[in-house]
């Protein structure tokens, strides 16, 4: 995806340039990644990575995928997430 994954988990955010909820999602994911050691936040421009959008079934922005340490998608959701939901989703990825 063009960025280093997290050692324990990766929060992958699909965004577009004019997506207002994407900005708020970026703040939430950055904050969570900063709180949990070994977790990285990677933002992907959906318009420039249509190959990934199609392969992963992304239907809109923002879309957030939670990947475990091996890069497997363990959770995914569309729309602007709440911080508590992101933290809970990380529980599925970090064992």
For the chain (length 95 residues), average pLDDT per consecutive 10?
85 96 97 96 96 94 96 94 95 84
Q: What is the pLDDT of residue 32?
A: 97
Q: What is the pLDDT of residue 1?
A: 64
Q: How far apart are CA 92 and CA 45, in angstroms?
A: 25
**Between the CA of residue 36 and those of 28, 42, 48, what are the distances in Å?**
13, 15, 29
| Model confidence, pTM | 0.93
DSSP code per residue over 2-18: -SPPPSSEEEEEEE-TT
Q: What is the pLDDT of residue 2?
A: 65
Q: What is the pLDDT of residue 49?
A: 95
Q: How far apart are CA 69 and CA 72, in angstroms?
A: 8
């Amino acid at each position: 995806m063009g960025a280093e994954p997290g050692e324990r988990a990766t929060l992958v955010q699909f965004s577009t340039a004019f997506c207002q909820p994407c900005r708020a999602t970026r703040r939430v994911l950055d904050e969570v990644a900063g709180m949990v050691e070994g977790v990285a936040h990677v933002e992907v421009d959906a318009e420039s990575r249509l190959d990934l959008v199609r392969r992963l079934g992304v239907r809109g922005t923002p879309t957030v995928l939670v990947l475990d340490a091996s890069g497997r998608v363990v959770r995914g959701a569309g729309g602007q997430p709440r911080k508590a939901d992101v933290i809970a989703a990380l529980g599925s990825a970090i064992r």
